[in-house]
Chain A
Amino acid sequence: MRQVGLFFILLLLGIVGGIWFEHASSHPYRLDYNRAVINLPITYTKYLSDDTYALGEKYLAEDLAAELKKQGIDTRLYTFEDSLANRNFNEGFEIFMRSGPELLLNKYHNYVDKDRVAVLFETIPYKLENVKNADIVFTGSLKKNKFYRSIGVNSYFLPQFTRVDEFYPSFDEKLKRKLLFVANQWPDFPIRKTIQYAKNTGIQIDVFGDNWGNILVDEKASWWKARQIPNDQLKYFYSSADIVLNDTRPDMIEAGFISNRIFDATACGAFVISDYMPEIEEIYGEAIPMYKSPEEFKQLIEFYLSHPDERRRLALMAQKITLKKFSADSVIRQMIAVLRNYVDKERIN
């Protein structure tokens, strides 16, 4: 009898424990810190899978999402349409690559509970009022990082990166060319340096990108080959060109952001000539020759076109540097460490 009684008491205790466990473990609004979204300034979701929708940030966001997912943070891309879809938004990290009224970063935690972490991934300069509202800022500029830290922003230098599984040597005889320039002309900005200098010095280059219709006209119209190269085809173009040209927006030079083109092209083993940036010189040294004037532009191109061995040597040097320091794997690993540390330190979870 005693044993029967003991049995029922234990059973009851177990039932109570089970009910308590089921109740206590139910947190319907708790966020998942193994998941993230990247907010993009794109209106409709269908544009994410539209290859003709050429937005540099989209490709970068795709690369970032892919690498984060590989390393344990399941990440999806969000458009405005998604943010209005009223699905259960339980991702713990919300990553911004640009800010705007629809992409709320200004006064973020006025409208978003504090357990969600706002992350700004700065690849172009942002307004300080938005930067200050992020919980964590990753910036690709050492200069900016130093400044942000000095004003109390929770900022980390995170080098830009390239996906070495997407960008690797892939020479294609059919795509062989002397000079390649892949870039869009920005509206409301002066003509890009590379095109301006090429026009001035009479050097013919092959141009791929958007908004060149009004600039490359008459005899220069033949320079403009296509509006876009699909991201998964870029490696063939980079690998098959004798020289890949690069230039950087003035505001990005000032802020210290290196164009991702440098990392992608060098990862493919391409030889790159760029406009001058002290940050590129610091990282790559002589491996990426740089020009400061149209004369230097012409001289460098003529010299390296006639010295293929020298091109190969420098390209290999640049490739080694890129693979060592700017591969997505190592860069994103650093990012995740910062994110996890933040959640632990703030005891958000």
Chain B
Amino acid sequence: MKTYFRKSDKNSIKAIKRKEQETADASILFQKKQKIKKLVICYTENYKGISAFLRNKYKKILFFLSVLILGGGIGVCFSPALKVFQNNKTVAIRIGEIPEYIDYDLLAAVNFLKYNFERNGYKVIGTSYAGNLYPKELDNAHVNVFVRGFSQFFDLRMNKRKTNIFYVHRYTKLYVEEFQNFDFYLSSQRKLIDAVNHQDISINFLPGGFVTHDLLIPNEYQYDVLYIYEYYNKAYHYFMQKNHRIKI
């Protein structure tokens, strides 16, 4: 039996095959596209997630920093106001003489000065001497009393935010130019006050007094010496009589 294909049949078969191939290709292509699509969707979803996460993280960081900076700013601005609540009755005594040259007279005068402050509700937080006049511990004292030594201050630093007092008890040479830029001037020497006061400088008088002997830290002296000031003081006289170790 002779098989007899019509031309068209042949074409049909080709066409069918072509169509099948096309269909197969299309199918493969479709599948590929589907895969890509999935990948894309998947990737997009992940990026969104990371992005969202990152964005949130930055937001958090920004939030933290902003609040901290805001708080810091408030703290810095508020800090001066807080000082009102601090104890502003602290005193530092800064003596412009080296310890070796400080005798009982000056020591007694300084101790009496401290006693007067304490009696008026102040707290003396420390004493410093020439060569170490500005130790850190005394930085925050609200009142600085500069006690003039035998010579002028060679290293005078003024904190204008605090009260600065210049106290003159003893001196070898004194310059009228030293009486400037302080808030108050004190002296135990009436003659000095009389000499300087007429030059438009007002010096307040710190009268002499006494402190008990225990408060004086003696240097290497054979005798404990107490100086009498310009006027007779009964208490001095009694004290001297009572203490046998005193030589006048």
Contacts and interface: CB of A to CB of B under 8 A. Distances in A.
Interface of A: 7, 10-23, 26-29, 81, 83-90, 104, 109-114, 116
B177 A113 contact: no
Looking at chain A's contact residues, is the secondary structure mostly helix, strand, loop, or mixed?
helix
B178 A84 contact: yes
B160 interface: yes
B68 interface: yes
13 contacts: A11-B74, A13-B71, A15-B74, A20-B75, A29-B134, A84-B175, A86-B178, A86-B182, A104-B154, A109-B131, A112-B154, A113-B134, A116-B155
Nearest to B68: A14
B69 interface: yes
Which 9 A-B residue pairings sit nearest by Cβ, starting from the closest? A14-B71, A18-B75, A22-B79, A10-B67, A29-B134, A18-B72, A28-B159, A84-B177, A15-B75
B110 interface: no
A184 B139 CA distance: 49
Given A19-B79, A20-B75, A84-B177, 5 more contacts: A10-B68, A11-B67, A13-B68, A16-B75, A22-B76
B129 to A, nearest CB: 10
Interface residues of B, number: 43
B157 interface: yes
Contacts of B178: 84, 86
B70 interface: yes
A83 B139 contact: no
Contacts of A19: 75-76, 78-79, 82
Interface of B: 64, 67-80, 82, 96, 98, 130-134, 139, 151-162, 166, 175, 177-178, 180-182
Given A29-B134, A85-B181, A113-B132, A14 B75 contact: yes
B158 A86 contact: yes
B154 A28 contact: no
Nearest to B67: A10
Contacts of A11: 67, 70-71, 74
Nearest to B177: A84
A7 B71 CA distance: 10
